[in-house]
């Protein structure tokens, strides 16, 4: 489960920001997770709670904003929204799509004390 490693990385980011900005506690962590990122939001919530134990993020609420996938269709020259890789263009049915968004996962916002 790579979500555990991702959550460990999030805790490292939080600890680094804590040193820079001198906060002692995190109440809310808001993540953006793209539809094409291969990250399971429910697994992230489970792993985050385990990884955050005994850190400044212990008990913090994890909010996840799911971002849609986006692609450029080479056949119809349109930007389209997609839910997963290898699906056809919703506009013309072509499979000649190049992903342009939705692959990201990032810490969007921290609510701290």
Domain limits, the chain: 2-68+101-112
Q: What is the pTM of this model?
A: 0.85
Q: What is the pLDDT of residue 1?
A: 57
Residue identified by tokens 């697994």 is: 43
- The pLDDT-based confidence of 97 (bands split at 50, 70, 90) is very high
With a cut of 80, say whether residue 80 has pLDDT above it: yes
Average pLDDT estimate for 8-31: 96
Average pLDDT estimate for 76-90: 95
What are 57-71's pLDDT values in tens digits? Answer: 999 999 999 999 999
Percent of the chain topping pLDDT 70: 99
Token output for 21: 């900005």
Q: Residue 15: phi, psi to the nearest 5?
A: -65, -40
CATH 3.40.50.150 fits domain 2-68+101-112: no
Q: What is the pLDDT of residue 32?
A: 97
Q: Give the SS3 label for residue 19.
A: helix
């Amino acid at each position: 489960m790579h979500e555990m490693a991702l959550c460990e990385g999030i805790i490292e980011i939080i600890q680094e920001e804590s040193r820079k900005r001198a906060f002692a506690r995190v109440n809310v962590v808001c993540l953006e997770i793209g539809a094409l990122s291969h990250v399971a939001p429910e697994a992230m919530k489970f792993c985050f709670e385990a990884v955050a134990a005994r850190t400044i993020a212990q008990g913090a609420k994890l909010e996840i904003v799911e971002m849609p996938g986006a692609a450029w269709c080479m056949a119809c020259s349109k930007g389209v929204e997609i839910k997963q890789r290898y699906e056809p263009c919703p506009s013309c049915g072509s499979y000649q799509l190049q992903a342009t968004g939705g692959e990201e996962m990032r810490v969007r916002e921290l609510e701290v004390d």
